Structure 1
């Protein structure tokens, strides 16, 4: 009995399907994996003042140490302020020195001479008054003449007292309060000089950390604004990985737990498999929820970001590399 022509192909396809199903059913499925990403500490470095970049001493990929010179900034404004501050400091120092030294010897001698002249004049006026007073008592001069002589004597005596005070002041020098004020003024100006010196030091931008130049945005001749990063330094010795985990798997990645992971980008061998330790975790926003509808358990599964550090630095690992964790 001959079979219809379509029956044979249908039977062949049926047998093939059964064979494929049997092979898939007996072969265990590939294990599921969680995929994370390597990270490293990055530092954005920015100048503290605005200026034009005059020299550039680093390039991308270069290893730099803390304190290494990155670039030099040309700032004429800082140079002008420094010159002004230095001149003001010199003037204030001179005033303070003058207050400490007091009057010059010539000024002291001049004040003493003025006092001697005034004292002699006062003695002469006193003697003239005494003579006129004697004549007045004898009735030889009028009271007006006696009063004029007395007034002249007392005025001369006042001038002598003022000249003596001036001479004493010249010998004593400036008051302690004036000296203190002049010294404080000098210190204030010196502080302004230090401030400008600090600004001048910022024209040489130096690295505050060790690491590798990951991104360089500065170019010679460009105007660099204050506070805008000009390069990024990555510290490859401070590494960690970030892994997104559903909350039903979070117990495995509790803080302090350890797990194994692989970095496919690294060479095959022992260095490819790495031991990590969980150091932190936090829930992601609602839009990152893995399951937005309720399942049979009656609640939505949230997603947590897990941060884990390798037990020792991974040689060759770079930020952005994939990390695979078997479920």
Structure 2
């Protein structure tokens, strides 16, 4: 009985209260020391997992491309001095808009010369078609009549001289003189008759053909000069944008020298140069997204429409382990699936080639 009482007393004895300002001791000191160890272990496991992930994952292959567009180098077909350039760089122009005006005074003067030659040819043709004037015909007829009278007179003189010579009343020299005079009068009469007949009949068909040919030649010369003058104004072949002005007013230009460079914003594509080992599996019609930094990293979906070799080698990547062969470079042209009005030539485009695959 005494032992049980003493045990009850021990069990009911209260623990002394902590002094003021002191915290209660932890109920389980082992749990308090285990929590930091768990946190450290979790952090270490995360670090190890991330390290293994970054070490084992394939290294990204960042491919850079460039936006390009159809470019047109507009050149003049004639020489001269630049008179005016009515367009500015970056300006949108319509088809047929004047890009450059060239001044060439020598060509303009040649056109006036050809027009004068044409007027002369027209006058000659009109003269041929009208025929001989009536006054000319009358004059030729009068000359023929005088030749006939001279021939009659020469014939009578010859007859008298011949009679006198036969009778012995005139020397032989006199007969010879009258004979020569008769022959000369006959030749004069023949010439006068020919001239009169030519005046009456007018020009021959060959002369008319020559006159017409001269007119046609003059017209062709005018058209030739006019075609050169038309080239003094250079026009835009299609609706496009002025990319570059290669000359300024006052400069002398020669045929074939580019004056203005245009770009067709309706025909934009993204150009990539890839080694042939990267082209493996790529085919025309494939689509993938590219990132455009100039457009705030906008993603643009493009479609491959051209895969062509460039005919050169990428010396920075050689397959030395397989027999000293260099990998060729292929040109890839991918067009945006949807129009991107803000896209401009020269902008860069990026994509992770392996993640694309």
| 1:318 matched residue in structure 2 | 344
Q: Does 1:205 align with 2:234?
A: yes
1:234 correspondence with 2:234: no
Secondary structure at the aligned position of 1:301 is classed as strand
**Alignment match, 1:10:** none
Secondary structure at the counterpart of residue 169 of structure 1: helix
The residue correspondences of 1:1-327 to structure 2 (distance < 5 A) are: 19-26=46-53, 32-134=61-163, 141=170, 143-254=172-283, 256-265=284-293, 272-286=299-313, 288-295=314-321, 299-311=325-337, 313-325=339-351, 326-327=356-357
Distance 1:172 1:278 in 2: 77
Q: CA shift at 1:233, angstroms? A: 0.7
C-alpha distance in 2, partners of 1:118/1:298? 107
2:74–2:262 CA contact under 8 A, matched in 1? yes
CA contact (8 A) 1:280 1:308 kept: no
| Structure 2 Cα separation of the partners of residues 147 and 299 of structure 1 | 111
Contact 2:294 2:347 in 1 (8 A): no
Residue deviations 1:243-290 (CA, integer Å, cap 9, x gap)? 122222323223x34222324247689x8432313323114522x244
Structure 2: gaps (5+ residues): 1-39
* Contact 1:63-1:212 within 8 A present in 2 as well: yes
CA distance in 1, matches of 2:45, 2:121: 102
- Deviation of residue 165 (structure 1)? 0.5
Preserved contact between residue 290 and residue 303 of structure 1 (Cα < 8 Å): no
Q: Secondary structure at the match of 1:248?
A: coil
CA distance in 2, matches of 1:17, 1:201: 81
1:214, distance to aligned residue in structure 2 (A)? 1.2
With 38-47 and 164-173 compared, the bigger mean Cα shift is at 164-173
- Say whether the 8 Å CA contact 2:304–2:332 is kept in structure 1: no
Q: Identify the residue that residue 11 of structure 2 maps to in structure 1.
A: none
2:4 corresponds to:
none
Q: CA offsets, 1:268-325, max 9 Å, x none?
A: 89x8432313323114522x24423514697543332222334564433221223334
Q: Secondary structure at the match of 2:261?
A: strand
> Which shows bigger deviation, 80-89 or 15-24?
15-24
Corresponding position of 1:5: none
Give me the CA root mean square deviation: 3.3
SS in 1 for 2:327: coil
**CA 1:154–1:193 in 2, change beyond 3 Å: closer, same or farther?**
same
> What SS does the aligned partner of 2:317 have?
coil
Q: Is the 8 A contact 2:75 2:256 kept in 1?
A: yes
How far off is 1:122 after superposition?
1.2
Contact 2:75 2:259 in 1 (8 A): yes
Cα distance change, pair 188–26 in 1 and its aligned pair in 2 (3 A)? same
